[in-house]
């Protein structure tokens, strides 16, 4: 199975900060990477797929980049509603796998 390693696991930031979360795959996955946001007690919500395509309704402050084994989720200006846990997921090969998550907390 392809392993996804996110860094950092925990991030403390302030409103307005630029935030970057990394996701490294154990082998190449092309551009088959998605990002999810999850708030406590809620299901994950798709933010980005195909590395950089924003899901409908997702604010443009979210962006994704990368290819192969190295990927990045960027939030250009952190808003209060963005404090949550973020997960990457590869959909290149069976079985699909997720990263361990990055919790973004208010500083």
Partner 1 sequence: EVQLVESGGDLVQPGGSLRLSCAASGFTFSSYAMNWVRQTPGKGLEWVSVIRASGGGTYYADSVKGRFTVFRDTSMDTLYLQMNSLRAEDTAIYYCAKAGNSNWYLFDYWGQGTLVTVSS
d(CA 49, CA 10): 22
Cβ atoms of residues 7 and 22 within 8 Å: yes
| Closer to partner 1 by Cβ: residue 14 or 56 | 56
**53 vs 77, which CB is nearer to partner 1?**
53
User: What's the length of the chain?
Assistant: 107
List, in sequence order, every residue forming a beta bridge with 13; answer none if it has no partner.
106
Q: Is the peptide bond before 50 cis (omega within 30 degrees of 0)?
A: no
Q: Rule CB under 8 A: is residue 64 a binding residue for partner 1?
A: no
Pattern 21-50, partner 1, x by CB under 8 A: -----------x-x-x-----xxxxx--xx
Is residue 100 a contact point for partner 1 (CB under 8 A)? yes
Residues forming contacts to partner 1 in the complex (CB under 8 A) are: 32, 34, 36, 42-46, 49-50, 55, 87, 89, 91, 94-101
């Amino acid at each position: 199975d392809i392993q996804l390693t996110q860094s950092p696991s925990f991030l403390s930031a302030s409103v307005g900060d630029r935030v970057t979360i990394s996701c490294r795959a154990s082998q190449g996955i092309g551009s088959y990477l998605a990002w999810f946001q999850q708030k406590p007690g809620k299901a994950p919500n798709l933010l980005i797929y195909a590395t950089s395509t924003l899901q409908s309704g997702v604010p443009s402050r979210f962006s994704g980049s990368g290819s192969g084994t190295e990927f990045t989720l960027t939030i250009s200006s952190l808003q209060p509603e963005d404090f949550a846990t973020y997960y990457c997921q590869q959909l290149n090969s069976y079985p699909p796998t997720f990263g361990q998550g990055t919790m973004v907390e208010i500083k």
